[in-house]
């Protein structure tokens, strides 16, 4: 069964691409994050939620068990861009 896409996902993906990030949609992998973004040589995993959205039990488990870089839960393009900008300063 395909995973539901949050209503704000397409605008966030478009905004990230406009900002200069590469974006791969991976939301169809259940219990995974929604998109993978690349920016200035770094990869960012984003879980997109609407303002009232909550993580599913599978998402919570995946985020706890992932041993790589963090999975960021975002609600807007502004949050995503802030994370990209904070990460590119290192």
User: Among candidates 31, 30, 25, 11, which has minimal Cα distance to 79?
Assistant: 11
Task: Compute φ and ψ for 73, nearest 5 degrees.
Answer: -95, 120
pTM over 0.75: yes
Q: Which pLDDT tens digit goes with each residue over 44-89?
A: 999 999 988 888 888 888 888 887 778 999 999 999 999 999 986 5
Domain chopping of the chain, boundaries: 9-88
- Could you give the angle at which helices 9-19 and 77-88 cross, rounded to 10 degrees? 40
**CATH for 9-88?**
3.40.1350.10
CB 45 within 8 A of CB 70: yes
How far is residue 10's CA from residue 80's CA, in Å, rounded to a whole number?
A: 13
């Amino acid at each position: 069964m395909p995973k539901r896409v949050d209503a704000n996902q397409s605008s966030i993906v478009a905004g990230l691409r406009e900002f200069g990030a590469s974006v791969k949609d991976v939301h169809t992998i259940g219990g995974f994050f929604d998109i993978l973004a690349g920016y200035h040589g770094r990869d960012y995993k984003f879980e997109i939620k609407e303002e009232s959205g909550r993580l599913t039990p599978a998402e919570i488990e995946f985020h706890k068990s992932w041993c790589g870089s963090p999975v960021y839960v975002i609600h807007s393009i502004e949050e995503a861009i802030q994370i990209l900008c904070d990460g590119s300063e290192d």
